[in-house]
Amino acid sequence: MLVFSLFSYIVFGIIFVAGMICLAYLPQLKGYVGERRIQKLLKSLGEDVKVYNDLYVPKKNGEMTQIDHVLLLPNGIFVIETKNYTGWIFGSENQRNWTQTIYKKKSRFYNPVMQNNTHIKALQNYLNMEVPMHSIIVFSNAATFKFNEPFQQAHVIQTKHLKRTIKQYTTQEISGEQLGKISQMLHALIPETKQQKKEIKKRHLEHVKEIAKPKPSKKSVSKVKVEPVIAGPVIVEPVSVTTDVTCPKCGNNLVVRNGKRGSFYGCQSFPKCRFTRDL
């Protein structure tokens, strides 16, 4: 009887730990499933359609930005940002932060139209040619939009309307020669191996960490003492740099912070959201 009771406690402990792990990684899993669904939809547009997923594009200032999906067609280049959010979505084109509401719980996240505009500018700079680019922000079908005004800079849609939105562009805007050149340049951004992909992400994160380093001031040191903020087991220093990476837990931007164990990602809405992730 004692052995059976001990075995039951062990099994319960394993189930509890597994459940907590699944709960912790649920937002990332939802995001992954959402992006895979978009990839499948884009591929279904036809064999001649060229789709590029998870691209790291160099920016004009030497940084890099990550784009979820780029679709290349004679009708233009479609830059797609996915947001696998549910609930009511509030926001406007020029509002820096949008709001997700699920029952009485409200969470803020960075304006995805502005976020995708940054992606488009980086892509324009990289390609260095005059071709039309269309911004599309895709939310989950479970999201309900509560927008008061129409958008001018982007299509903000649910997943089920993605194909229809792309197919409304019927005029050829890019020549065959340009399509070939653009395709080659976009292919050059795709790592050939998993190791190369890891190196690209590593360089991107190293650059972000470099920006996060505090710069020595030429002025005299202030006598005002700035105390660090304690976030659980991690001590977060006041120095931080906002990134365009979104928090999988609440949707706000992640920032790079310097802690006791080195630099790490932390949520911009701390202490309301205590999500952290290693760089």
pLDDT one-digit tens code per residue, 14-26 = 665 444 444 444 4
State the pLDDT confidence band at 9, using cuts at 50, 70 and 90: low
Q: Report the C-alpha gap between 213 and 235 in whole angstroms.
A: 16
Q: 50-87 burial by CB neighbour count: b if 16+ within 10 A, else e?
A: ebbbbbbbeeeeebbbbbbbbbbbebbbbbbbbbbbeb
Q: Alpha helix locations (H) across 44-159?
A: 112-127
Task: Confirm whether pTM is higher than 0.95.
Answer: no
What string of DSSP letters covers 236-253? EPS-EEEEEEEPTTT-SE
| CATH class of this structure's domain 25-190 | alpha beta
Amino acid at 213: K
User: How large is the C-alpha radius of gyration of the chain?
Assistant: 22
Q: Report the C-alpha gap between 136 and 22 in whole angstroms.
A: 31
Neighbours of 153 (CB within 10 A): 14
State the pLDDT confidence band at 6, using cuts at 50, 70 and 90: low
HSE (side-chain half, CA atoms, 13 Å) at 25: 8
Tell me which residue of 189, 172, 168 sits closest to 73, measured CA to CA.
172
By the 8 A CB rule, do 65 and 55 touch? no
Provide the edge-to-edge strand list for the sheet that holds 105-110. 105-110, 97-102, 87-90, 143-145
pLDDT for residue 279 is more than 70: no
pLDDT value of residue 157 = 96
Q: What is the DSSP letter of 161?
A: G
pLDDT value of residue 28 = 45
List, for residues 177-228, the tens digit of each pLDDT value. 999 999 999 999 988 777 767 777 677 666 655 655 555 554 444 444 444 4
Q: Report the C-alpha gap between 177 and 15 in whole angstroms.
A: 58
Residues 6+ apart with CB under 8 A from 256: 208, 209, 211, 212, 240, 241, 243, 263, 264, 265, 266, 279
pLDDT value of residue 3 = 55
List, for residues 88-134, the tens digit of each pLDDT value. 999 999 999 999 999 889 999 999 999 999 999 999 999 999 999 99
Question: Which ranges in the chain are annotated with CATH 3.40.1350?
Answer: 25-190
pLDDT for residue 7 is more than 80: no
- Mean pLDDT check: name the lowest of 77-86, 173-182, 229-238: 229-238
pLDDT for residue 83 is more than 60: yes
By the 8 A CB rule, do 168 and 125 touch? no
pLDDT value of residue 171 = 93
SS (H, E, C) 196-228: HHHHHHHHHHHHHHHHHCCCCCCCCCCCCCCCC
List, for residues 40-78, the tens digit of each pLDDT value. 888 888 777 899 999 999 888 878 889 999 999 999 999
Residues 6+ apart with CB under 8 A from 189: 52, 55, 56, 57
pLDDT value of residue 267 = 82
State the pLDDT confidence band at 236, using cuts at 50, 70 and 90: very low
Hunting for tokens 């509002």 — which residue is that? 95
pLDDT for residue 243 is more than 80: no
Q: Report the C-alpha gap between 149 and 146 in whole angstroms.
A: 9
